[in-house]
Amino acid sequence: MSIFSNCNFTSRTILMQSRASLKAPNESLATVRCTKVVRNVNLEKLRHNYLFPEIEARELEHKKKYPDAKIIKLGIGDTTEPIPDIITSNMAEYALALSTRKGYKGYGAEQGNKALRKAIAESFYKDLGVKDAEVFVSDGSQCDISRLQLLLGSSVSVAVQDPNFPAYMDSSVIIGQAGDFLDETLKYKNIEYMTCGPQNNFFPDFSTTSRTDVIFFCSPNNPTGHAASREQLTQLVEFALKNGSIIVYDSAYSVYIKDESPKSIYEIPGARECAIEISSFSKIAGFTGVRLGWTVVPDELLYANRVPVINDYDRIVCTCFNGASSIAQAGGLACVSPDGFKAVMSVVDYYMENAKILVDTFTSLGLVVYGGVNAPYVWVHFPGSKSWDTFSEILNKTHIITMPGSGFGPGGEGYIRVTAFGQREDILEACARLRSAFQ
């Protein structure tokens, strides 16, 4: 039973049983007044705090303990390098024009600027048949995950990679697709966990995977850094078509792919009949704070009753969203221009050189390392160790923030994720600290 199931408790009880404290410490300990609104039962099912705020909380605790330490952040995948001038100048010019009668614009189309939708289709989906009307510009792929969950509803069954980006799982729980959390398995009931580890080349074994309505799939994968091969994605699409499932394909890190792995699910025949693709400018162009992404919903994707999914997604967007920032969209247009794309790719190359430095460092310490080749994440195995224990040991010995693998699902236990997003001098210093502490 939730501690908030009735109101017969005092503020002292709240202080003892809740993470939150009263904002007025001198307030009387009289009985707290409650509304009669029942808490969303799905929110009560969430097992932990969302991973990234939890990391930030532990960082603050460490700062209090070591106030003079220089903390190097290689945990949360936030970009660090400046956005190229060709892009920011375009945003600045647009913003300044808003102060003139001629340049001022108010609401734009909820689906996005027509020119940007067309540019995305032509730049990222050349020769793949994606039409500009199928591209919905947004304020980022993580926001689109929640809008897609609203589209799909609570009654669908869901499969996720294990390990996986926490937003897929937590949004599934909040919308009502998951059952209770099981302490014995560290999994939610009613969710199909598709193990993706080195034992199966980071790709699900579909011979043992149950059929679900929706399959969340990320490539290159966050957190493991694995980019699925053409053969693997062909298996994924064939599995979805056979079972009448919808794939929600996250390609946010596709520009980091250096080999022949597909950069879009639509490179695979049949994908337009079974897949939605989400992506983002966050890691492409350093737009983590600017906020700009997109979702592609093909015309051929149909519900069981033959109604096009794109019709409903358009309604969701128009109901729940007023469109991405027009200033951010001006930046997006600059990103996909020939010179702009060349500029952002030079920053991508910078981060991938960071990844190589990190891979070499962890390898030199005798650890098995994955990722860092087609993605800006390095997935390091610490056999026999708990992820949070490894996180704490690295933090205490080196003042470096990493990510515990178990935060991405039970399949991540025994691993940590290290991001290559960082300034070169910090990456080099972090590697020196790691060698000094663990060699």
* CB contact burial 319-342 (16+ within 10 A = b; e otherwise): eebebbbbbbbbbbbbbbeeebbe
Q: Identify the pLDDT of residue 53.
A: 86
**Reported confidence tier of residue 439, pLDDT bands at 50, 70, 90:** confident
User: What SS3 class is residue 419?
Assistant: strand
Q: Identify the pLDDT of residue 47.
A: 80
Burial degree of 190 (CB within 10 A; 0-12, 13-18, 19+): middle
Cα–Cα separations (whole angstroms), residue 75 to 30, 59, 370: 42, 10, 16
Fold of 85-339: Aspartate Aminotransferase; domain 2 (3.40.640)
Residue 160 has pLDDT above 50, yes or no: yes
| From 30-39, 59-68, 151-160, the region with the lowest mean pLDDT | 30-39
**Residue found under tokens 């952040």:** 73
Cα(67)–Cα(348) distance, integer angstroms: 33
Cα(319)–Cα(313) distance, integer angstroms: 10
Cα(75)–Cα(407) distance, integer angstroms: 12
Give the pLDDT confidence of 244-271 residue by residue, as tens digits. 999 999 999 999 999 999 999 999 999 9
**Residue found under tokens 């029942």:** 38
Cα(373)–Cα(199) distance, integer angstroms: 19
Cβ atoms of 427 and 411 closer than 8 Å: no
Cα(33)–Cα(27) distance, integer angstroms: 13
Give the pLDDT confidence of 105-131 residue by residue, as tens digits. 999 999 999 999 999 999 999 999 999
Closest CA to 285 of 75, 141, 87, 76: 87
Burial degree of 196 (CB within 10 A; 0-12, 13-18, 19+): buried
**Region(s) of the chain under CATH 3.40.640.10:** 85-339
Residue 333 has pLDDT above 60, yes or no: yes
Residue 435 CB contacts under 8 Å (≥ 6 apart), including other chains: 361, 364, 365
**Mean local confidence (pLDDT), 62-84:** 96
Look over the chain and give the mean of its residue pLDDT values, rounded to a whole number. Answer: 93
| From 16-30, 134-148, 170-184, 280-294, the region with the lowest mean pLDDT | 16-30
Closest CA to 418 of 358, 337, 368: 358
Closest CA to 120 of 324, 376, 351, 352: 324
Burial degree of 56 (CB within 10 A; 0-12, 13-18, 19+): middle
**Region(s) of the chain under CATH 3.90.1150.10:** 51-82+342-438
User: What SS3 class is residue 395?
Assistant: helix
**Reported confidence tier of residue 28, pLDDT bands at 50, 70, 90:** low
Cβ atoms of 320 and 149 closer than 8 Å: no
Q: Identify the pLDDT of residue 52.
A: 85
User: Any idea what DSSP says for residue 26?
Assistant: T
Cα angle 229, 121, 250; round to 5: 40
**Reported confidence tier of residue 30, pLDDT bands at 50, 70, 90:** low
Q: What is the pTM of this model?
A: 0.92
CATH 3.90.1150.10 fits 51-82+342-438, yes or no: yes
